[in-house]
A and B are shown apart, each in its own frame.
Chain A
């Protein structure tokens, strides 16, 4: 290979976002490239998200100044404010600075103490003793106690709440029994019977209030992801007295311990919140208030910050990221996220139960045009479920397409002439359906004619995830923090997210080991083993991680991007200078 073509290959890979900045420099040095060639590469790397960070996000930080109202452009309407009663990202985005959890996520996806000042974990890893922060008050002035935490956690699991997020606390001892108490199946329980069952399950739950500032939680088995789980939006701490006074309905009212309190909500339109003077973090927040405008349409959200109607927008539309970057009044934060876009095979159906067919399809996949058409280039190609910079990721790059190899595999499987099949995806999400459309073309190279089936959310979930009535599906998952959640949800035999019907006892064992193991390095190793097996079994072909950005006015400081999309750092942000 001549140096010229090696350089071109490297440039191509950089543009495709497959090489990290460090690797790029190393390889450039090995090639003995000229200074100008290296600078071209660097410029290409800056232009490509996923390499280096957005340059404008690093600046000298002036001292914090209190005051000013932050006007925010939001992507979706929360519709209500009780994440225990309805699981919706938009709810959490709108109230994450009004409530607190016991632990909270840091930008590097590790956790830090929040309402729990500290905790002790028993030798065997099953008993967590939380020391609840003293001097914390709710917006109504009442103090936070361990009772409130116990009440909140029990409420999430109580069948009467009908929560969709019981998985958050499911590793607590007796949680599974409580979350399923009174369900049909054990005959037809009368209302009194099922109430008795619920009461008994509540009594047996492993949550114990030791004193007003100490809470003891016993787990069914050790769970290394527990402290991360309780940082989830569904585990925000409510005031027991307040919830009871509202007849258990806190969908329209907010009384949290967070730095802002809810003033007004107009459905589909706006949310106003003002500074809570009794917030427990000294001196915070700096803003006097938050004014959120719901701008669901991408064009409208970009327009809002360009026109000046907002100082901050979440989920900066990927189509407009480059334009926003060039805007002298704005700066962009972010790019990393923990979602994954992939192709799932129905492993219970011909011909996808044949490994060679799945391998052939994996060899055909070219991620670069997908990333271009789905997310306007703002994605990171991945070979496995985790993005390369995640601590538990297997260090493996996606391979370039190999059509000849794919054809041979198809012939081995007995499909030398290809076959006809269907490919199902979400009609409402172009970042998924466009990948399906690109793949449809790519599959034709090995004679696979896939008919496109695009479904709306309700139909998609029912058809693919519940009835498992599909051949191939292009879909995605989002928002994990700990690797355990993704693994157990999607790859454990019989789990609800395992719509492909994957079952491998070795993987099941490793998932369980990963949950129990407390040593991070050993855990990472377990998850790397799982990814290795998944790459061999190929229940999914992973495509890319969709980047995610927030756009802010230049004069806002103190903000940090968190890869879950959380804007919890707004409580530390402030206006300064011009």
Chain B
């Protein structure tokens, strides 16, 4: 169903919020897991995010940017969490889906580990950009709304970052 309809339905009848929850639970959870680094904290922050969104929904009016609005709430929750002195745990768990043979998987896993290390060495802004793109699956437009930047700026920054990472990885994927 069209997101605008889902949002306006939930604004009319808060019970309809469940449909938005279903749509956004996974990206919000994974994004917050990536920010917080543990299952327990990801669950806490996800609950806080959706409860806050439910409460604030009547005032929502940024048509067409619901995902960005929701992720703004999630980002605020994550920021408060990090401010409270809880450091971000490293993300070193890889989760192969079992569709590759073991050798390919090992090679690939090594590259993934290198990328994970490069991610950790990136600035917070760069990490956030990658999270919003690859974990939250937001469009450049939505990332722009979240970060308060123009879409073009986000896109250029992002691709510059990817080029650098690929260069640092030293692996050709052509």
A and B physically associate = no
Where the two chains meet, the residues of B that have a C-beta atom closer than 8 Å to any C-beta of A are none
Residues of A that sit less than 8 Å from B by CB = none
